[in-house]
Chains A and B, each alone.
Chain A
Amino acid sequence: GQNIDQPTEMTATEGAIVQINCTYQTSGFNGLFWYQQHAGEAPTFLSYNVLDGLEEKGRFSSFLSRSKGYSYLLLKELQMKDSASYLCAVRDGSGNTGKLIFGQGTTLQVKP
Chain B
Amino acid sequence: TAGITQAPTSQILAAGRSMTLRCTQDMRHNAMYWYRQDLGLGLRLIHYSNTAGTTGKGEVPDGYSVSRANTDDFPLTLASAVPSQTSVYFCASSAGTSANEQFFGPGTRLTVL
What is A's interface to B at a CB cutoff of 8 Å? 30-31, 33, 41-45, 48, 87, 89, 96-105
Contacts and interface: CB of A to CB of B under 8 A. Distances in A.
Contacts of A42: 90, 104-107
B94 A98 contact: yes
B53 interface: no
Of listed B43, B58, B96, B103, residue having the most chain A CB within 10 A: B43
B90 A43 contact: yes
B33 A98 contact: yes
Nearest to B90: A42
Given A97-B48, A100-B33, 6 more contacts: A31-B100, A42-B105, A87-B42, A98-B33, A100-B45, A104-B40
Contact of B45 (A30, A99, A104): A99
7 contacts: A43-B90, A48-B100, A89-B43, A97-B50, A99-B58, A100-B102, A102-B35
Contact of A98 (B42, B98, B104): B98
Contacts of A103: 42
Interface of B: 31, 33, 35, 40-45, 48, 50, 56, 58-59, 90, 94, 96-107
A15 B56 CA distance: 44
A43 B104 contact: yes
Of listed A42, A48, A101, A103, residue having the most chain B CB within 10 A: A42
A98 B99 contact: yes
B106 A98 contact: no
A98 B50 contact: yes
Of listed A31, A48, A105, residue having the most chain B CB within 10 A: A105
Contacts of A105: 42
A99 B97 CA distance: 8
A44 B90 CA distance: 12
